Amino acid sequence: MSNGFHIEPSTTRMDQGRRSNTLDEKKQALGSSNTFPGANVLNRNRNVSDLPKPPAWHEGAPCASSDPDAFFPSHYGVTQTADAKRICAGCDRREVCLQWALDNREPHGVVGGTTPRERQAMWKQGAA
């Protein structure tokens, strides 16, 4: 199934002397049926199975069935994060989620009821 995109492999300075492309380079440029649309542009041709899987404790959590845009707003102001923090406040897995975010130094999203800036302050406190 074609996704309608055709991307020519780019040449680097090292490639300029070489005229023919290898089969692997062509496959990477064209993508394969195992990739999702746009994967070769957005995710450098990674298969969906290569993408990180959420932790087991995430299954069944209220955030798993919520709108992801609430947890990854364009700005982390009080009004933009209010819905996500409200969902986190009622979650029984909040402490585990926050600990996971701190252990993995998660730089994005509202995780465990905290914004990236709040987690950064926690990291600095822990390091001091």
The response to whether 43 counts as a known ligand-binding position is no
The response to whether 97 counts as a known ligand-binding position is yes
The two tokens of residue 4 are 């309608």
Q: Could you report the per-residue pLDDT of 52-79, keeping only the tens digit for each?
A: 677 788 888 998 888 989 999 988 888 9
The response to whether 91 counts as a known ligand-binding position is yes
Q: Could you report the per-residue pLDDT of 100-122, keeping only the tens digit for each?
A: 999 989 999 999 999 999 999 99
The response to whether 88 counts as a known ligand-binding position is yes
Reduced to 3 states (helix: H, G, I; strand: E, B; else coil), residue 114 is strand
